[in-house]
Amino acid sequence: MKAIKTLVAVIGMTVAVFTINAETIPGCGDRTNGFSVTTGQSCFGNMPTPITLPTNVVSVPASNQILTVETVASNLWMFQSKPAFMSWALRRVSNLDLEFRSPVMVASGGYSWGWSYSSLSPSIDEMSDTVASVEVSFPIATSGRVTVTVKYLDTNWVALFEGSSEKYTYQDYPQPTNGVMRWSLYGKDPEVTIAKNIRVTVPGARYLQIFPEDGGEPIWLSPDSNGGFLIPRNVIGSRSVIVAIDSNWNQIAFDVPSGSASKVGEVHANVRPTIEGTQVLTNVNTIVIRPEAEYRRGSDILTEVTYTSNVSGVRLVVRTSEGETAQKVIIVNVATGDSGEFPINWNEDLELDFSIGRYHVIPIWWNFQDSTFESPYNSYRGGSGAVTPVIIEEK
CA distance 284 to 151: 77
Kindly state whether residue 37 falls inside one of the protein's structural domains. Answer: yes
Kindly state whether residue 110 falls inside one of the protein's structural domains. Answer: no
Q: What pLDDT is recorded for position 8?
A: 28
245 pLDDT exceeds 80?
yes
Instruction: Please indicate whether residue 177 or residue 321 has the higher confidence score (pLDDT).
Output: 321
Boundary of a domain, candidates 163, 188, 218: 163
Residue percentage of the chain with pLDDT more than 90: 59
- Give how far Cα 9 sits from Cα of 6, 13, 123, Å: 5, 8, 21
- For 53, the domain range is 1-72
391 pLDDT exceeds 50?
no
Same domain, 155 and 216: no
Amino acid in position 245: I
Three-state SS for 308? Answer: coil
Query: Which of 86-100, 133-147, 193-207, 375-389 shows the lowest mean pLDDT across its residues?
Result: 375-389
Instruction: Please indicate whether residue 389 or residue 262 has the higher confidence score (pLDDT).
Output: 262
Query: Which of 45-49, 86-90, 248-252, 316-320 shows the lowest mean pLDDT across its residues?
Result: 45-49
Instruction: Please indicate whether residue 360 or residue 55 has the higher confidence score (pLDDT).
Output: 360
Most confidently predicted of 57-61, 74-78, 373-377: 74-78
Kindly state whether residue 41 falls inside one of the protein's structural domains. Answer: yes
Same domain, 231 and 151: no
> What is the band of 53 on the pLDDT scale with cuts at 50, 70, 90?
low
16 pLDDT exceeds 60?
no
> What is the band of 55 on the pLDDT scale with cuts at 50, 70, 90?
low
Instruction: Please indicate whether residue 271 or residue 183 has the higher confidence score (pLDDT).
Output: 271
Number of domains in the chain: 4
Torsion of CA 76, 81, 82, 85, to 10 degrees: -30
103-141: pLDDT as tens digits = 888 878 788 888 898 878 899 999 999 998 888 888 888
Instruction: Please indicate whether residue 58 or residue 200 has the higher confidence score (pLDDT).
Output: 200
**What average pLDDT does the chain have?**
81
Q: What pLDDT is recorded for position 385?
A: 44
Instruction: Please indicate whether residue 395 or residue 80 has the higher confidence score (pLDDT).
Output: 80
Q: What pLDDT is recorded for position 32?
A: 34
- Alpha-carbon torsion (68, 73, 74, 75), positive or negative: positive
Whether residue 17 contacts residue 1, with contact meaning beta carbons closer than 8 Å, is answered with yes
Same domain, 311 and 361: yes
Kindly state whether residue 242 falls inside one of the protein's structural domains. Answer: yes
Query: Which of 24-28, 59-63, 241-245, 281-285 shows the lowest mean pLDDT across its residues?
Result: 24-28
Whether residue 390 contacts residue 294, with contact meaning beta carbons closer than 8 Å, is answered with yes
Kindly state whether residue 325 falls inside one of the protein's structural domains. Answer: yes
71 pLDDT exceeds 80?
yes
Boundary of a domain, candidates 55, 72, 89: 72
Instruction: Please indicate whether residue 395 or residue 81 has the higher confidence score (pLDDT).
Output: 81
Whether residue 157 contacts residue 95, with contact meaning beta carbons closer than 8 Å, is answered with yes
Three-state SS for 234? Answer: helix
Kindly state whether residue 382 falls inside one of the protein's structural domains. Answer: yes
365 pLDDT exceeds 50?
yes
Same domain, 312 and 389: yes
How many helices (H) and strands (E) the chain has is answered by 4, 25
What average pLDDT does the segment 212-220 reach? 89
Kindly state whether residue 178 falls inside one of the protein's structural domains. Answer: no
Kindly state whether residue 55 falls inside one of the protein's structural domains. Answer: yes
- Give how far Cα 302 sits from Cα of 101, 123, 252, 288, 351, Å: 74, 76, 49, 11, 18
Q: What pLDDT is recorded for position 182?
A: 82
Q: What pLDDT is recorded for position 216?
A: 85
